[in-house]
């Protein structure tokens, strides 16, 4: 429900010049609404110090000068007497974050957590990077404070304590374990102040609900003279200390930088803009006063204006939801609008997670400046970008070939209509001949490859350029599909709203590829972000945490808090004189025991509420909204599960009074007059297309494609079989012909090779989205511990996404086992279940569901789809089905080799329930402890496979079965080619370095079992023999690794060493013959225990392979698996350690490596949900990283205090043997497991143990460090601090699609 209130007031800016400005990274766009409603626009370079000091101010000055003849006041500064208002978005905060150019910050944290924000969630950003680049810290120094509060947990805590009770929000209670040591705080902060630090960020655990300690420290900081004091509970009062800490740090780091820019901006105006209404765009799509513009809420300041612009203008042309497509020079922003702005509360930019309302803007690495490559027979676009300097080749500054150059080659950009701002003197036109010369070089490389491959075709320059454009288009389509289909929405049931400088050249193709029938291009599309600033409302947000259960008894409390926040919000907006104010209430709701909270506005109350209360009467039906959104997002709702209110929020809007757009004159006839003609190249061939200037187009004009439309800020291509019509406001609506069948054959085409690679990967990704939406367990829905994949008719892997390393290639063994066992007996409507190691399984909790894909007229499966998910329990001798001391497979739970879970379309529920609930014959084993989650997740996996079948069938309908299967083979051969190229290079390097092409390595498990590898490379053919003969026998324990695990580890290593994206499929292993001895630790017998092989031995296999190839020193080589619980609850985590150093890099510390990338539970969530206190989580201080020219990463220290008796299971490695150094580097230190008893005794634990611990006991773990690389005496670097690599990239991906992929890669 939206509450609307009005107050007196008058329209701002009447009779004056009003400016809306988007200050971007490359260009600054200025839109001026003149008296009478006439609109002026201007575009300037954001940085041009020889001509002006500030681009937005210069744009205002120029327009005032041209319109009024006068621009300066008697003071010599820009005259403000004729300025009504200024509304601006800026990348100042974003650039400072990307380039790490904010202010020095001192971070204040609880003792034991000095490295909490460095470790973060412990996942590495890119899973295939051996050189792990963690984002640089936003703080310069850390002060640890002896103070601590923890949740009371009166019903579970059995510690004998006399701690003081503190009262938090919503009736919550906390215990003060340690009060603030104020004298220590004062002296520590004074020391930081003496270092010249003026900004402090205070981040204490649980302060969002109980801020007493933060307030005390903040008061001391202000007394000491810190000019910027940020308290995390004020920056964002939400649970999760890591994300809240990042937000508070970003606020402290960026806001002084933003303030300096604002002061500089004002200084050039008469009277510092006094009397002028100056507003800045925030990340949530709302404006705020310049005085309230803060760093953490400014990250999406510019892009947010574009979303507002297309949302408010595009929706007048259609009732369908809109997809925003903003293609710029470096990247493309994709978003969605369906009547309401889509916000996220938590999003990651440049490695920093910000907790604040933000528009869900998804940025992908495909823009006009995206670079073009030809790698191992495949066309590749991005993610590398030429940026604005040097820019594309045609900019004449020594830049590489880019998408912009391809459009220029194809006649889609016309230099004569572009400004002459290029070349060394910034006075030249775009250079067509230079782009053509560079394309000629690339054309020769491509045609040489085709000839070498036996392909007689010779591609023309235009065919090469067009191929890259098609690949770029498919690259941009993938996130749009993910953004819509991940929510159960049909992509085709949208309208594409196109804006940005480069979007108009691609919009028709993007829409056609997605099945979208209509494109809307606003008349200010080239500067729509600036226009959005003019249209946006002023926003005032207030929010507080809650924690209450959403029920009838708490309804009046929730209403009281919403009333109080509404009053606050209304008062703040009333002070600004808005004549119309809207208040929007939200509750942040989730099911108890889950993490998937949804920010819910109320639906209109209908009387059908589950409970009636004053809350529903006053505000509406929050419950109905939550159920509807949960069902839409996840496909179901949970029965008999309590709903929790995490946060209460009010969003107030001071409504905008910008005058409506003027309508354009009607055209006397439907066909406009062309300015001329030009040759433009399309898939259908070359056309002599007419050129039209948009400034001459009138309402009702219709233009049939192909045609080129030019305005002063962008170029729009109307493709063949498309028709553009001018609306009454001067916008363009383009009708796009969709659904035509693609006319290609089975022969290999390098362009279609790239396109099919994207399409096959998209199928696996969308299967994963369905699985995540429809599953019910925490492991799959929230931890995203699953993989989905597509296989050929022979069971060979075609695409596997997202990439969980331990799953890579492993499912192929499972599918091929079913083919061997089932043969031709499989029928349409059958679905198989498997998890047995002899059937390609990894460990028993990973259940794989396989479905054959039948196609009309084909008697045998034409493809297979499969999904593998980690189930929390499938029986066995311990909860979680991961016993650290198992010796037989039967002790680890239910095993399936080839179980028909669906037969003739019927789910075999009785049979699967019987198998899951029947204990194995192992002593002490029981059946599954969570049958309902097992069944729900299995059905979700079946649904994911069904989605895969649908998408495969659509692809076959579009291209034909023979073509799709041909490209399946082509893609597998392309992966083979990439690996062969790598092996040839490694073979030549090895021969030159050692005189031999044989590589050997041996590593050992802690029990002494060897992993032995001999690699024999043939540099001529690019093939290798990987022989594991000599590896240890099967062990009496659970560190036996099924054969599939060894193959996964090998594929992972190959992908890491290739160094760039290649299709991960069965082709990767085609050049490699793998020999694994039977009944060994790497291929154990049928009944051997394997749970440790999946999580520990897999790491040692990677160590051995990388050692053989001399790629880098060993990382921690362990996943540090910890399981804690009793008969009522269970908790599982894996813990980070040190990464190995390499030939030119230091190893990262406090990060997961190689075959795992699991995120760790936030300390506040851990302490709220479980009877434990996290006493310490930081990097080791005893030099655990191996020394050398390049230093290994540090392991971590993690101490857990138990508040009641529990069972502790530990499954770890590298407690005896150290991670190796390489090339003279020293080994990293091994890990240690300790129990500190409540009486003070310290007891060392072995690497694998299951024990009962008492209340007051502490489990203290030190994880291994990484090995060093090179002799330490070769190093002139005496700094042994944890290596941190700053982000030097101007572009980073962001948005929910990116966040999901990051979460999936860290499962």
pLDDT digits 0-9 by tens, 413-459: 999 888 787 888 878 889 999 999 999 999 999 999 888 888 888 99
Does the pLDDT value for residue 707 go beyond 90? yes
For residue range 261-280, what is the model confidence (pLDDT) as tens digits?
999 999 999 988 988 989 99
Better-predicted residue by pLDDT, 74 or 241: 241
Instruction: Give φ, ψ of 701 to 5 degrees.
Output: -65, 135
Residue identified by tokens 């991005």 is: 382
pLDDT for res 1172: 96
**740: pLDDT strictly greater than 70:** no
**Other residues' Cβ atoms within 10 Å of the Cβ of residue 860:** 10
Q: Where are the beta strands (DSSP E) in 17-95?
A: 17-23, 27-33, 39-45, 83-90
At 1282, is the pLDDT very low, low, confident or very high (cuts 50, 70, 90)?
very low
Contact 1063, 974 (CB under 8 A): yes
d(CA 973, CA 980) in angstroms, rounded, equals: 10
Q: For the segment 746-761, what is each residue's pLDDT rounded down to a tens digit? A: 887 777 887 788 788 8
* Spatial separation of the C-alpha atoms in residues 899 and 833, rounded to whole Å: 5
- Per-residue pLDDT, averaged over 893-906, amounts to 93
Rounded CA gap, 799 and 808, in Å?
Answer: 10
**9: pLDDT strictly greater than 80:** no
pLDDT at 194: 94
CA 1270 to centroid of chain Cα atoms: 34
More confident site: 339 or 403:
403
What strand order describes the sheet that includes 846-853? 797-801, 786-791, 863-870, 846-853, 831-834, 899-903, 906-907
**Of the given ranges (38-42, 383-387, 900-904), which has the lowest mean pLDDT?**
383-387
pLDDT at position 57 over 90:
yes
Q: What is the secondary structure of 518-578 as a DSSP string? A: EEEE-TTGGGHHHHHHHHPPEEEEEEEEEEEE-SGGGHHHHHHHHHHHHHHHHHHHHTTT-
User: What mean pLDDT comes out for the span 485-497?
Assistant: 81
pLDDT of residue 595 exceeding 90, the answer is no
960-1011, pLDDT tens digit by residue? 999 999 989 988 888 888 888 888 888 888 888 778 899 999 999 999 999 9
When pLDDT is cut at 50, 70 and 90, the band that residue 660 belongs to is: confident
User: Who has greater pLDDT, 391 or 33?
Assistant: 33
Q: pLDDT (tens digit, 9 = 90+) per residue, 1059-1068? A: 777 767 888 8
Which residue, among 1275, 1273, 1239, 1272, has the nearest Cα to 1258 in the 3D structure?
A: 1239
Pick the closest to residue 499 from 24, 19, 93 (CA basis): 24
- pLDDT for position 802: 56
Name the pairing type of β-strands 105-110 and 141-145: parallel
Half-sphere exposure at residue 597, Cβ-oriented, CA atoms within 13 angstroms: 22
Please tell me the distance from the alpha carbon of residue 920 to that of residue 910, in angstroms, as a whole number.
Answer: 18
Indicate whether 1291 pLDDT > 80. Answer: no
Lowest average pLDDT, out of 848-862, 997-1011, 1106-1120, 1124-1138, goes to 1124-1138
Half-sphere exposure of 1026 (CA within 13 A, CB side): 25
Residue 12 has pLDDT above 70, yes or no: no
d(CA 355, CA 345): 6
pLDDT per residue over 923-960, tens digit each?
999 999 889 889 989 988 998 898 899 889 988 988 89
Residue 1032 has pLDDT above 90, yes or no: yes
Reported confidence tier of residue 635, pLDDT bands at 50, 70, 90: low
Q: Are 1098 and 1107 in contact (CB under 8 A)?
A: no
**Mean pLDDT of the 1208-1225 span:** 95
Overall average pLDDT of the 1098-1121 stretch? 95
> Which DSSP state fits 130?
S
Q: How far apart are CA 881 and CA 930, in angstroms?
A: 11
Task: Report the chain's mean pLDDT, rounded to a whole number.
Answer: 87
Strand bridging mode 39-45 / 715-718: unpaired
Nearest-CA neighbor of 20 among 61, 49, 59?
59
Examine the pLDDT at 1289 and tell me if it is beyond 50. Answer: no
Q: Can you say whether the dihedral through the CA atoms of 306, 312, 317, 320 is positive or negative? A: positive
Residue 433 confidence (pLDDT): 93
Query: Which has the higher per-residue pLDDT, 860 or 487?
Result: 860
Give me 96's structure tokens: 């400072």
pLDDT above 90 coverage of the chain, percent = 52
Q: How far is CA 416 from the centre of its chain?
A: 40
Checking if the pLDDT of 680 tops 60, the result is yes
Spatial CA neighbour of 133 closest among 1051, 1193, 982: 1193
- State how far the Cα of 256 lies from the Cα of 516, in Å rounded to an integer: 45
**Most confident range, picked from 726-740, 973-987, 1187-1201:** 1187-1201
Q: Is the pLDDT of residue 300 over 90?
A: no
228-231: strand order across its sheet: 141-145, 105-110, 199-202, 228-231
Rounded Cα gap, residues 326 and 332, in angstroms: 6
Residue 1205 has pLDDT above 80, yes or no: yes
**pLDDT band at 605; cut points 50, 70, 90:** low
The residue-averaged pLDDT of 1023-1033 equals 96
Residue 705 CB contacts under 8 Å (≥ 6 apart), including other chains: 508, 689, 717, 718, 719, 720, 721, 722, 723, 724
- Of residues 13 and 1187, which shows the higher confidence score? 1187
More reliable by pLDDT, 1040 or 93: 1040
Question: Would you state the pLDDT for residue 1281?
Answer: 40
> d(Cα 829, Cα 920) in Å, to the nearest integer?
30
Tell me the H-state helices in 268-417. Answer: 301-314, 403-409
Is the model's pLDDT at 1293 over the cut of 70? no
Question: Omega into 876 within 30° of 0, i.e. cis?
Answer: no
């Amino acid at each position: 429900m939206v509450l609307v209130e009005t107050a007196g007031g008058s329209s701002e800016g009447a009779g004056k010049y009003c400016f809306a400005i988007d200050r971007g990274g490359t260009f600054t766009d200025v839109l001026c609404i003149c008296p009478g409603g006439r609109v002026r626009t201007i575009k300037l370079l954001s940085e041009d110090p020889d001509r002006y000091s500030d681009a937005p101010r210069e744009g205002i000055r120029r327009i005032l000068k041209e319109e009024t003849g006068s621009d300066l006041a008697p003071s010599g500064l820009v005259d403000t007497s004729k300025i009504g208002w200024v509304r601006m978005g800026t990348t100042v905060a974003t650039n400072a974050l990307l380039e790490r150019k904010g202010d020095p910050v001192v971070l204040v944290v609880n003792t034991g957590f000095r490295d909490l924000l460095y470790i973060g969630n412990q996942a590495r950003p890119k899973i295939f990077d051996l050189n792990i680049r963690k984002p640089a810290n936003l703080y310069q120094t850390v002060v640890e404070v002896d103070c601590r509060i923890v949740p009371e947990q009166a019903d579970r805590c059995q510690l004998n304590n006399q701690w003081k009770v503190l009262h938090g929000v919503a009736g919550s209670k906390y215990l003060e374990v340690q009060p603030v040591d104020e004298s220590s705080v004062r002296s520590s902060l004074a020391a930081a102040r003496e270092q010249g630090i003026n900004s402090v960020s205070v981040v204490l655990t649980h302060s969002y609900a109980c801020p007493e300690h933060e307030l005390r420290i903040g008061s001391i900081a202000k007394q000491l003279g810190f000019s910027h004091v940020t308290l995390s509970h004020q920056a964002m009062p939400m649970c999760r200390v890591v994300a809240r800490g990042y937000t508070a740090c970003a606020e402290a780091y960026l806001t002084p930088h933003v303030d300096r820019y604002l002061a500089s901006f004002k200084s050039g105006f008469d009277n510092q803009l006094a009397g002028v209404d100056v507003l800045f765009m925030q990340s949530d799509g709302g404006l705020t006063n310049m005085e309230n513009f803060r760093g953490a809420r400014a990250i999406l300041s510019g892009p947010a204006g574009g979303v507002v612009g297309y949302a408010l203008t595009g929706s007048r042309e259609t009732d369908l939801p809109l997809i925003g497509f903003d293609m710029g020079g470096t990247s493309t922003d994709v978003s969605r609008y369906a009547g309401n702005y889509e916000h996220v509360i938590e999003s990651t930019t440049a490695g920093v997670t910000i907790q604040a309302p933000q528009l869900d803007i998804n940025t992908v690495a495909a823009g006009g400046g995206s670079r073009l490559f030809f790698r191992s027979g495949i066309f590749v676009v991005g993610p590398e970008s030429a940026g604005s300097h040097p820019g594309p080749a045609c900019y004449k500054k020594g830049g590489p070939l880019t998408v912009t150059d391809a459009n220029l080659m194809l006649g889609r950009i016309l230099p004569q209509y572009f400004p002459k701002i290029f070349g060394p003197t910034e006075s030249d036109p775009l250079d067509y001949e230079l782009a053509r010369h560079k394309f000629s070089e690339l054309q020769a490389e491509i045609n040489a490859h085709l000839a070498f491959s036996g392909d007689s075709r010779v591609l023309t320059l235009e065919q090469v350029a067009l191929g890259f454009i098609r690949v770029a288009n498919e690259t941009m389509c993938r996130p749009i599909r993910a953004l819509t289909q991940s929510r159960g929405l049909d992509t085709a049931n949208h309208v594409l709203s196109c804006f940005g400088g480069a979007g108009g050249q691609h919009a028709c193709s993007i829409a056609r590829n997605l099945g979208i029938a209509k494109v809307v291009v606003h008349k200010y599309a080239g500067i729509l972000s600036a226009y959005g600033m003019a249209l946006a409302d002023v926003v005032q947000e207030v929010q507080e945490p809650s924690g209450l259960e959403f029920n009838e008894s708490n309804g009046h409390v929730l209403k009281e808090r919403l009333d109080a926040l509404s009053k606050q919000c209304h008062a703040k907006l009333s002070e600004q004189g808005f004549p119309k104010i809207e208040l929007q209430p939200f509750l942040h709701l989730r099911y108890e025991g889950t993490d998937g909270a949804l920010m819910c506005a109320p639906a209109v109350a209908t009387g059908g509420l589950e409970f009636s209360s004053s809350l529903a009467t006053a505000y509406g039906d929050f419950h109905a909204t939550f159920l509807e959104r949960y069902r839409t997002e996840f496909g179901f709702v949970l029965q008999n599960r309590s709903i929790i209110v995490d946060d209460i929020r009010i969003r107030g809007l001071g409504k905008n009074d910008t005058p409506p757009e003027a309508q354009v004159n009607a055209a006397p006839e439907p066909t406009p007059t062309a300015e001329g003609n030009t040759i433009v190249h399309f898939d259908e061939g070359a056309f002599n297309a007419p050129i039209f200037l948009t400034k001459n187009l009138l309402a009702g004009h219709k233009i049939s494609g192909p045609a080129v439309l030019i305005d002063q800020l962008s170029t729009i291509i109307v493709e063949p079989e498309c028709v553009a019509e001018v609306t009454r406001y001067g916008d363009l609506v383009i009708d796009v012909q969709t659904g035509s069948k693609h006319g290609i054959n089975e022969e290999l085409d390098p362009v279609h090779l790239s396109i099919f690679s994207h399409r096959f990967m998209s199928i696996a990704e969308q299967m994963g989205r369905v699985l995540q939406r429809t599953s019910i367990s925490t492991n799959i829905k929230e931890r995203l511990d699953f993989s989905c994949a597509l296989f050929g008719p022979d069971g060979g892997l075609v695409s596997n996404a997202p990439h969980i390393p331990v799953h890579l290639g492993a499912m192929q063994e499972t599918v091929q086992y079913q083919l061997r066992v089932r043969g031709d007996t499989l029928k349409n409507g059958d679905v198989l279940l498997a998890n047995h190691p002899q059937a390609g399984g990894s460990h028993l909790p990973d259940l794989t569901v396989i479905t054959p894909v039948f196609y009309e007229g084909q008697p045998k499966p034409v493809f297979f789809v499969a999904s593998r998910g980690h189930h929390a329990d499938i029986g066995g001798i311990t909860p979680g089905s991961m016993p650290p001391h198992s010796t037989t497979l039967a002790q680890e739970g239910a095993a399936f080799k080839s179980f028909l879970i669906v037969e003739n379309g019927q789910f075999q529920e009785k049979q699967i329930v019987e198998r899951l609930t029947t204990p194995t014959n192992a002593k002490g084993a029981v059946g599954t402890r969570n049958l309902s989650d097992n069944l729900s997740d299995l059905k979700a996996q079946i649904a994911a496979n069904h989605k895969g079948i649908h998408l495969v069938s659509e692809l076959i309908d579009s291209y034909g079965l023979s073509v799709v299967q041909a490209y399946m083979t082509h893609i597998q051969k392309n992966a083979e080619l990439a690996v062969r190229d790598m092996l040839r290079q490694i073979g030549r390097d090895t021969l030159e370095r050692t005189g031999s092409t044989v590589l050997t390595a041996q590593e050992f498990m802690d029990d002494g079992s060897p992993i032995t590898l001999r690699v024999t490379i043939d540099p001529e053919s690019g093939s290798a023999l990987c022989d594991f003969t000599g590896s240890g026998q099967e062990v009496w324990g659970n560190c036996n690794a099924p054969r599939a695990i060894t193959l996964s580890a090998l594929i992972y290593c190959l992908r890491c060493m290739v160094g760039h994206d290649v299709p991960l499929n069965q082709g990767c292993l085609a050049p490699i013959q793998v020999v694994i001895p039977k009944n060994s630790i790497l291929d154990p017998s049928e009944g051997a225990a394997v749970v440790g092989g999946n999580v520990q031995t897999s790491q040692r296999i990677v160590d051995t392979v990388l050692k053989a190839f001399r790629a880098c020193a060993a990382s921690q080589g362990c996943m540090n698996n910890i399981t804690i619980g009793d008969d009522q609850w269970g908790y599982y985590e894996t813990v980070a350690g040190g990464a190995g150093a390499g030939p030119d890099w230091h190893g990262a510390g406090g990060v997961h490596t190689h075959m795992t990338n699991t995120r760790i539970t936030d300390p506040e969530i851990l302490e709220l949900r479980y009877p434990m206190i996290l006493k310490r989580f930081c990097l080791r201080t005893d030099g655990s990283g191996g020394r050398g020219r390049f230093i290994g990463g540090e392991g971590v220290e993690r101490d857990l205090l138990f508040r009641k008796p529990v069972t502790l299971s530990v499954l770890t490695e590298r407690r005896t043997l150290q991670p190796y150094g390489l090339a003279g580097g020293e080994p990293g230190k091994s890990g240690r497991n300790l129990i500190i008893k409540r009486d003070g005794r310290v007891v060392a634990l072995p690497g694998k143990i299951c024990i009962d611990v008492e209340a007051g006991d502490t489990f203290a773990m030190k994880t291994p460090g990484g090995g060093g690389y090179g002799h330490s005496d070769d190093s002139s670097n005496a700094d042994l601090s944890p290596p941190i690599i700053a982000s030097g990239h101007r572009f980073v991906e962001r948005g929910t699609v990116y966040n999901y992929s990051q979460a999936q890669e860290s499962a």
